[in-house]
Structure 1
Amino acid sequence: MTAAEDDEEAAKRAAERRARRLLGGVSLVLGVAVVGAASIVLQVTAGERTARSNQQAPRVRADHVAPIAPPMPSKYVTYELSGDNGARNITYVGNELTVAQEMSAELPWSRTLEQLTPSSGYFSISAQNPAAGSLTCRIVVDGQVVSQKSTTVAKNVVTCSHSR
């Protein structure tokens, strides 16, 4: 092979390499363009489907709507203890007829509970007087005193209760 043929062959190979690089670059650009176009088409058609589905939502007639239950009224129950020497063995009816207890407390003492109606409607508190002096229990339902009792005897238990 002559030098001219070698130069011609080298020029052909260089031209082929440039053509492959150019073709690869064009392919990459076309691939990105196709993916971008497909993404836009999907977004537009999804938006149209959403708009169509919103327009085709079934109509609900007013006579087919279930009535909404009115909110249930509540009762606020406050248990109170007052007196001279504190209280021991405090027991009261909590929410959902649970029994709550405290071993001892400084006075005055109170607990307010919200009870949904119709709950049991039974309220009760008892406490032991630790020493001679007064110990009074009260039950207040929605601002009205419904039960009140007192004792002055040491170790005596005072109990207030109410049913509606």
Structure 2
Amino acid sequence: MTETSEEARLLAERRARRVLGGVSLVLGVAVVGAASVVLQVTAGERPARSNPQHLARQPADNVAPAVPPTPSKYVTYELSGDSGARNITYVGNELTVAQETSAELPWSRTLEQLTPSSGYFSISAQNPAAGSLTCRIVVDGQVVSQKSTTVAKNVVTCSHSR
């Protein structure tokens, strides 16, 4: 049994889409993983900030030192557009990688990131069809990254480091 040229073309397109989707996912995970390693390595190289001398000489007077509150960052990852999103990959809490295979739009996830545990934020998603797909990262109410694509099968990536 032989395939017609149209059937062969459709089969080749399906194979190419599967390969492209897999490659996009692997690249997204690799980028997020590499950024995670770089941040963890460089975090250990930062010089510690010393206290001013006049603060270090204060008497104790049997008073427990005040523990400063742990600051946090609320990070919201957003996707919007016309045709949904595929292969969504984003940096979760403590620099973990989180993934979703597909989503209807609009889509968002809000995470509380304890400072300074993480200073890198990233999201990528594949546009399933022609039309717009926009990613956005909002940190404590302020947009820190926004990118768009209108090309089918393209991957859009937003990232930010502080």
Q: What TM-score do the two structures reach when normalised by structure 2?
A: 0.62
2:117 maps to 1:123: no
**Alignment-mate amino acid for residue 73 of structure 1:** P
Q: Corresponding residue for 2:50?
A: none
- Residues 29-66 of structure 1 show CA distances to partners (whole Å, capped at 9, x for unaligned) of xxxxxxxxxxxxxxxxxxxxxxxxxxxxxxxxx62333
Aligned to 1:145: 143
The one of 64, 67, 78 equivalent to 1:66 is 64
- Cα deviation, residue 91, structure 1: 0.2
1:89-120 C-alpha deviation (Å, 9 max, x unpaired): 00000000000000000000000000111122
Deviation at 1:73, TM superposition (A): 1.1
CA distance in 2, matches of 1:65, 1:97: 37
State the partner residue of 1:82.
80
Please give the root-mean-square deviation of Cα atoms over the aligned residues, in Å. 1.4
Q: How many residues align?
A: 104
Mapped partners of 2:72, 2:142: distance in 1: 14
Give the unaligned 5+ runs of structure 2: 1-59
Match of 2:44 in 1: none
Identify the residue that residue 91 of structure 1 maps to in structure 2: 89
Q: TM-score, normalised by structure 1?
A: 0.61
Q: d(CA) in 1 for partners of 2:91 and 2:66?
A: 31
Percentage identity across paired residues of the two chains: 94
Larger radius of gyration: 1
Provide the rounded CA distance (Å) in 2 between the counterparts of 1:66 and 1:82: 49
- The superposition leaves residues 136-161 of structure 1 with CA deviations (integer Å, 9 ceiling, x where unpaired) of 00000000000000000000000000
**How far apart in 2 are the matches of 1:120 and 1:114?**
10
**d(CA) in 2 for partners of 1:151 and 1:95?**
27
> Greater share of helix residues, 1 or 2?
1
Alignment match, 2:157: 159
Q: Secondary structure at the match of 1:63?
A: coil
Corresponding residue number in structure 2 for 1:135: 133
Q: Could you tell me how far 1:70 is from its partner in structure 2? A: 1.2
* Shift in Å, 1:68: 3.0
Which structure 1 residue ranges, 4+ long, deviate > 6 Å from structure 2? Answer: none
